[in-house]
Structure 1
Amino acid sequence: MTATDREQVTRALLERYGERSFAEEAEIHLREQPHALYQMLELAALVNARVAPGTAVRTFEELRGHRWSTAGGVLEAGRDRIDHALRDAGYPEGDAAGIATAVTDAALHLQQDHGGDLGGLREDAGHDPVRERELLRHFADVDDGVVDAFCREVQVLWDELLPFADKKALDAAHRLGLGEDAGALRRLAADDREYVRLVDALVRVRHDEHGYRELQELAGHR
C-alpha cells in the first residue's frame, strides 16, 4: 500500500469506528485521578470479554449508575451483586464471574497496597511499562488481555506506555495494510488522543464483519 492508501483507510476507519475511544465513549474523565484510573481498569475488564464493545460500554454505564465504578463502591456492592448485574447485561457466565472477581479483588488490593490509587502502582513500578504490567496482573489477578485493554486507554495519561497497541489491534492493522507495529500506527494519527482512538477503532472493527470487509476492500485486500 502507498502512504496515500494507508491514510485513506485510516480516515475511513476513524470516521466509522474512532470518533471516541472506549474511555471517552464511557465518559470517563481522562485524568490522573484515583476514580478515573480504577474506572479504566473496570472498563478494560468489560471490553476484554466475549461481548461486543458497545455492550461493554453500556454495562460500564449501568455499573456506574449503581455507583459500582469506584474501588469503594465495588467493595460495598460485593462480588455476587456485580456478577448478577453482568449476567443480566448479557455476559457469559464464566466471563461475568471472572470479571466480578477481578474487579472486587483489584479494589481490595488497591486500597490495601496503593492507597486506593493506581497512580501509586505506577510510582511503585518506577514508570517502567514492563513492571507496570507485572504489578497490574499481580494485584488485580487478571490476564494479559485485560492489562492490554487498560494500557490502550491509559497510555494517553501514562505516556511511558506510548505508543501501545495490543495483539487484537495489530492483527486488524495487518489485515488492513496499516502496519505491523505500534510505531507505524502512531505515525498515522495526528496526536496521542487520536492514536488511542485509532487503536480502539481497530479493536471495534473486528466485531463488525461487514465493515471489516469493506475496509479490506478499500485497502485492496479481497
Structure 2
Amino acid sequence: MDAVVKRLLRDAGRTYAEEAGIPLKDQPGPLFRLVVLSNLLSARIGAEIAMAAARELFEASGGTARGLARLTWQQRVDALDRGHYVRYDESTATHLGDMADLVLDRYGGDLRRLAIEAGRDPERAAELLREFPGIGQVGVDIFCREAQLIWPWLRPYIDGLALKGAERLGLPADPKRLADEVPDKDLARFAAALVRVARDKKLAESILKG
C-alpha cells in the first residue's frame, strides 16, 4: 500500500457514519440512520454540525423510520436546533418527516428492500434514493460512499468529491485505480478520508508531509 494512502487512512480514515455513532449493518435501523445522516450532510453546513444534529435526532427516537415519523415537526426542529443545525432546521424537519413516511409506505421501514427493488444496481439505487425529499445527488453520493461498507455491490463508489481529494494527494484520479489502493473492506473509510482531504487543504498538506 502506498505510504500516502497509509497515512491517509491513519489520520482521516473514519466514516461519517462511525463518527455520527452509527455502527453500520445491513439492518433497517442503521440503514435508515445513514439516510438521515446523508440528508443532513447534503446541506451547505459543516459536517460536524450535521453529525451532531443526527445524534440529537437519534436520541429523540428518530433513529428508525417509524420513530422519526412519530416525532412532531416541532420535535424534529428542536432536535436539529440542539445540534446547532439552525439555518435549515424548518425545511429539513419537513423533509425528514416526509422521508420517514415514504420509507414506511414504500419499503415498510426497511431500506434493504430498496436494494432489492434496485436489483442491486448502483444507478437504479441512486434513482430510488433521489425520490426521498431532501436527497439529491450529493446525498446519494454520501449514502453510497458509506453504504459500500455493507453493500458490496456498490463498490467501488468513489464520487467526484473523493476524486478531488485524491488529486490533492497525487493519487490516481480514476475510481477503479484508486480502489486498487486499498482492500475492499477499507473502501468506505478510504472514500470518506478522501472527502475530508478535499474539504481540508491543511489536512492534505499534513498527510503529504508525513
> When the two structures are superposed, what TM-score results if normalisation uses the length of structure 1?
0.85
1:13 to 5, 8, 32: 8
Structure 2, gaps ≥5 residues long = none
Distance 2:96 2:18 in 1: 20
Q: Which residue of 2 aligns with 1:28?
A: 22
Identity among equivalent positions (%) equals: 35
Instruction: Please report how far the alpha carbon of residue 91 of structure 1 lies from its aligned counterpart in structure 2 after TM superposition.
Output: 2.6
Does the aligned pair in 2 maintain the 1:47–1:56 contact within 8 Å? yes
1:184 to 151, 174, 177: 177
Instruction: Please report how far the alpha carbon of residue 141 of structure 1 lies from its aligned counterpart in structure 2 after TM superposition.
Output: 4.9
Instruction: Please report how far the alpha carbon of residue 41 of structure 1 lies from its aligned counterpart in structure 2 after TM superposition.
Output: 0.4
Does the aligned pair in 2 maintain the 1:186–1:195 contact within 8 Å? yes
Instruction: Please report how far the alpha carbon of residue 149 of structure 1 lies from its aligned counterpart in structure 2 after TM superposition.
Output: 0.4
1:101 and 2:89 matched: no
1:78 to 72, 80, 94: 72
Map 1:194-209; keep pairs closer than 5 Å: 194-209=186-201
Does the aligned pair in 1 maintain the 2:9–2:189 contact within 8 Å? yes
Q: Which amino acid in the other structure matches residue 42 of structure 1?
A: V
Q: Which residue of 1 aligns with 2:117?
A: 124
1:167 to 160, 163, 166: 160
Distance 1:92 1:170 in 2: 30
Distance 1:92 1:178 in 2: 37
SS in 2 for 1:199: helix
> How many residues end up aligned between the 2 structures?
210
Structure 1, gaps ≥5 residues long = none
> When the two structures are superposed, what TM-score results if normalisation uses the length of structure 2?
0.89
Does the aligned pair in 1 maintain the 2:164–2:198 contact within 8 Å? no
1:133 and 2:126 matched: yes
Q: Which residue of 1 aligns with 2:84?
A: 90
SS in 2 for 1:27: coil
Distance 1:164 1:171 in 2: 14
Does the aligned pair in 2 maintain the 1:74–1:107 contact within 8 Å? yes
1:150 and 2:143 matched: yes
SS in 1 for 2:35: helix
**Considering only aligned residues, what root-mean-square deviation do their CA atoms show, in Å?**
2.1
Distance 2:75 2:122 in 1: 33
Instruction: Please report how far the alpha carbon of residue 77 of structure 1 lies from its aligned counterpart in structure 2 after TM superposition.
Output: 1.1
Distance 1:83 1:193 in 2: 36
Worse-matched range after superposition: 49-58 or 108-117: 49-58
Q: 1:62 to 1:34 in 2, by over 3 A?
A: same
Q: 1:192 to 1:52 in 2, by over 3 A?
A: farther
Instruction: Please report how far the alpha carbon of residue 98 of structure 1 lies from its aligned counterpart in structure 2 after TM superposition.
Output: 4.0
Distance 2:28 2:75 in 1: 23
Q: Which residue of 1 aligns with 2:45?
A: 51
Does the aligned pair in 1 maintain the 2:66–2:100 contact within 8 Å? yes
Distance 2:189 2:199 in 1: 16
